[in-house]
């Protein structure tokens, strides 16, 4: 485990809260301090840290990997930030994109012509972990002259088949 300033601050916060709570149960400060010292790591790693992970939206960032993209569609959100930042797909042809990412999952709808727009491909990236996540991540890949010119991430509301509209 790497000891960081944030870890030390959080441990101190948990210790102080435990000490204040135990001080209301028993007025002997040395006993409250000793019990707080022993309980701090247990409370931190089994209560505070899991709660922090539930409410935060942190997720691991990974480099683009074509195999992982195709095999684990639910974890694509881990790769997309690096893919966009590094311009990994910019300039690739539609054939190359199909080879790397697989067939487009859906095409953008062109409302003016009332047809699918073949130069805007969309892929689902999965759902970022978190307690309050109500949207799934997606990316739109735009082509011009058969070459990728941009990748645009966006969120789409989660809907379920049994939901009534």
Domains of the chain, start order: 5-55 (no CATH), 66-157 (3.30.1450)
Q: Which residue has the tokens 């002259």?
A: 145
- Low-confidence stretches of the chain (pLDDT < 50) are none
pLDDT of residue 123: 94
Instruction: Give the full edge-to-edge strand order of the sheet including 147-157.
Output: 106-110, 115-126, 135-144, 147-157
Q: Read off the DSSP letter of residue 111.
A: T
pLDDT of residue 163: 67
Handedness of CA 12, 16, 22, 27 (dihedral sign): positive
Backbone angles phi, psi at 55, to 5 degrees: -85, -15
Q: How far apart are the C-alpha atoms of 148 and 90, rounded to whole Å? A: 5
pTM score, two decimals? 0.66
Report the SS3 class of residue 24. helix
Q: Going along the chain, which residue ranges are E strands?
A: 106-110, 115-126, 135-144, 147-157
pLDDT of residue 125: 92
Of the candidates 125, 149, 127, 126, the one whose C-alpha atom is nearest the C-alpha of residue 139 is 125
pLDDT of residue 89: 92
pLDDT of residue 62: 87
pLDDT of residue 37: 85
């Amino acid at each position: 485990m790497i000891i960081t300033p944030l870890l030390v601050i959080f441990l101190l916060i948990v210790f102080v809260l435990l000490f204040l709570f135990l001080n209301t149960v028993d007025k002997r400060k040395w006993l409250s301090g000793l019990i707080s010292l022993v309980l701090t790591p247990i409370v931190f790693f089994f209560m505070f840290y899991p709660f922090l992970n539930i409410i935060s939206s942190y997720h691991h960032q990974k480099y683009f990997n074509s195999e992982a993209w195709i095999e684990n569609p639910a974890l694509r959100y881990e790769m997309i930030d690096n893919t966009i930042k590094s311009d990994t797909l910019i300039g690739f042809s539609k054939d190359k994109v199909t080879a790397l990412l697989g067939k487009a999952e859906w095409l953008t709808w062109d409302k003016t012509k009332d047809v699918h727009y073949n130069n805007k491909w969309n892929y689902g990236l999965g759902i970022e972990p978190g307690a309050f996540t109500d949207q799934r991540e997606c990316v739109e890949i735009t082509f011009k002259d058969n070459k990728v010119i941009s990748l645009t991430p966006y969120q789409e509301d989660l809907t379920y088949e049994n939901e009534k509209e």
